A and B are shown apart, each in its own frame.
Chain A
């Protein structure tokens, strides 16, 4: 009886030390296997060897029924060609966005400004006043942007076009991601103010919550939510986006043709590789799965 009245024994805690040991081994192992930036590939079509060694005197007969789509990039403009004709040039102003090592902030300059600074013995300036290494500044380029320019004539220097973009960054550091289009598939855009239109136009307002908008991505029509509407930004319209819109229209319009999935990207010798990849991305997203590369005038 006296034994029954005894206090129940205190429940013993499970011995967690072996589990801790296991975790301590697993975590460093998984950490060593973690990939913080993923690599992918972009496939490109190359003519077969027999075709590459073909006699230059006997070029193939052009197919009159084919689309023969090409996308050319020069130092000043992008242009789409098909069936021997060309669409209007999409002029652009090239801009380099750097991520400074000193303050980790983004700063954007035109290549001419950067070259002028480097020629003067300085590296491009960061927001905190420090300078980038004038030998290695190219490694700090985060994006090469092509700002679309509205030109009235060849001689006209043109004005930068501005558009409404989704924010792919944070509230502190906004990064233009996808350009909005309205119900008629037109960008929400306007030419900028000041010299060369480098200041955002006051007439272009950010759409308010509840507006019906879409991006160039298929099935992206949406009613703008208040939190998204607040984060949107007005940014120079990318020439890549203008070209992407045209490519989507062409692919949809000529869907019945045999070579509708083919595109040839043509570029100058000095075009940076990054621009080729951006154009290949836009072509793939528009539905052109077979991409060939060629040289301008070569």
Chain B
């Protein structure tokens, strides 16, 4: 009886070496997969981007226009329902155009203050749901051009999640 109580009374050393091994493996895996450059572009909600073989990454933060099944958004603010864009005959989407022109004026003002050329073409990234008809896409793209954003890029999902 005395022997038993002594046996269970002893401190059993807790070995965390195996847990450390596991943690080290997870840490190395996470560091390998970490993107040191960060993401300049984040996917909008309520849309599915098309998959593409493109590996081109945006070089700077740009104004983002989103076209989903319900709305056209500029910088995450709802501007006009997508259905209205599809219904109109005119190529220029007036509501989007006025918002973009305001943003362009602010950009040019900042460029002048920073001593940079203000008349350079603006950059814009357009996130469009993959099922959106070409008509809506074309009107939004043309409107961006009219507002002075002629460097247009479409956001896409990298094929196979960017893995080679």
Give the residues in chain B near A278, CB-CB below 8 Å: 50, 52
Name the residue on A nearest B53 (C-beta): A281
A284 at the interface (CB under 8 A from B): yes
Q: Is the CB of A273 within 8 A of B134?
A: yes
What is the total of A-B residue contacts with beta carbons within 8 Å? 165
Q: Is the CB of B137 within 8 A of A273?
A: yes
Checking B16, B129, B144, B157 against A37 with a beta-carbon cut-off of 8 angstroms, the contacting residue is B157
Shortest C-beta distance, A232 to chain B (Å), equals 18
Alpha-carbon distance A58/B30, docked complex (angstroms): 59
Name the residue on B nearest A140 (C-beta): B48
Name the residue on B nearest A26 (C-beta): B27
Shortest C-beta distance, B66 to chain A (Å), equals 13
Q: Is the CB of B157 within 8 A of A270?
A: no
A27 at the interface (CB under 8 A from B): yes
Q: Is the CB of A20 within 8 A of B23?
A: yes
Give the residues in chain B near A33, CB-CB below 8 Å: 34-35
Checking B42, B43, B129, B154 against A41 with a beta-carbon cut-off of 8 angstroms, the contacting residue is B154
Shortest C-beta distance, A269 to chain B (Å), equals 4
Would you give the 0/1 interface string for A244-273, flagging 1 where the beta carbon is closer than 8 Å to chain B? 000000000000000000000001111111
Q: Is the CB of A39 within 8 A of B128?
A: no
Alpha-carbon distance A26/B27, docked complex (angstroms): 8
Q: Is the CB of B19 within 8 A of A20?
A: yes
A38 at the interface (CB under 8 A from B): yes
B156 at the interface (CB under 8 A from A): yes
Q: Which residues A1-39 have CB closer than 8 A to chain B?
A: 13, 16-17, 19-20, 23-24, 26-27, 30-31, 33-39
Would you give the 0/1 interface string for B129-156, flagging 1 where the beta carbon is closer than 8 Å to chain A? 1111111011001101110101111111
Give the residues in chain A near B129, CB-CB below 8 Å: 273
Alpha-carbon distance A141/B31, docked complex (angstroms): 33
Q: Is the CB of B49 within 8 A of A44?
A: no
Give the residues in chain B near A30, CB-CB below 8 Å: 27, 30-31, 34
B162 at the interface (CB under 8 A from A): yes
Checking B13, B141, B154, B158 against A38 with a beta-carbon cut-off of 8 angstroms, the contacting residue is B158
Give the residues in chain B near A36, CB-CB below 8 Å: 161
B112 at the interface (CB under 8 A from A): no
Would you give the 0/1 interface string for B46-77, flagging 1 where the beta carbon is closer than 8 Å to chain A? 00111111111110000000000100000000
Alpha-carbon distance A292/B75, docked complex (angstroms): 25
**Which of B31, B151, B154 neighbours the largest number of chain A CB atoms within 10 Å of its CB?**
B154
**Which of A38, A138, A280, A284 neighbours the largest number of chain B CB atoms within 10 Å of its CB?**
A38
Q: Is the CB of B156 within 8 A of A39?
A: yes
Q: Which residues B83-123 have CB closer than 8 A to chain A?
A: 121
**Which of B43, B50, B121 neighbours the largest number of chain A CB atoms within 10 Å of its CB?**
B50
Q: Is the CB of A39 within 8 A of B53?
A: no
Alpha-carbon distance A30/B55, docked complex (angstroms): 23
Shortest C-beta distance, B140 to chain A (Å), equals 11
Give the residues in chain A near B34, CB-CB below 8 Å: 30, 33-34
B17 at the interface (CB under 8 A from A): yes
Give the residues in chain A near B27, CB-CB below 8 Å: 23, 26-27, 30
Q: List 26 A-B contacts (CB under 8 A).
A: A13-B15, A23-B23, A24-B23, A26-B30, A27-B27, A38-B161, A39-B157, A40-B57, A40-B156, A41-B54, A41-B58, A41-B125, A43-B153, A44-B154, A46-B141, A46-B145, A47-B145, A47-B150, A52-B142, A139-B48, A270-B133, A271-B134, A272-B134, A273-B50, A284-B54, A295-B134
Q: Please give the residue numbers on chain A whose beta carbons come within 8 Å of chain B beta carbons, in ascending order.
A: 13, 16-17, 19-20, 23-24, 26-27, 30-31, 33-44, 46-49, 52, 138-139, 141, 143-144, 168, 267-274, 276-278, 280-281, 284-285, 293, 295
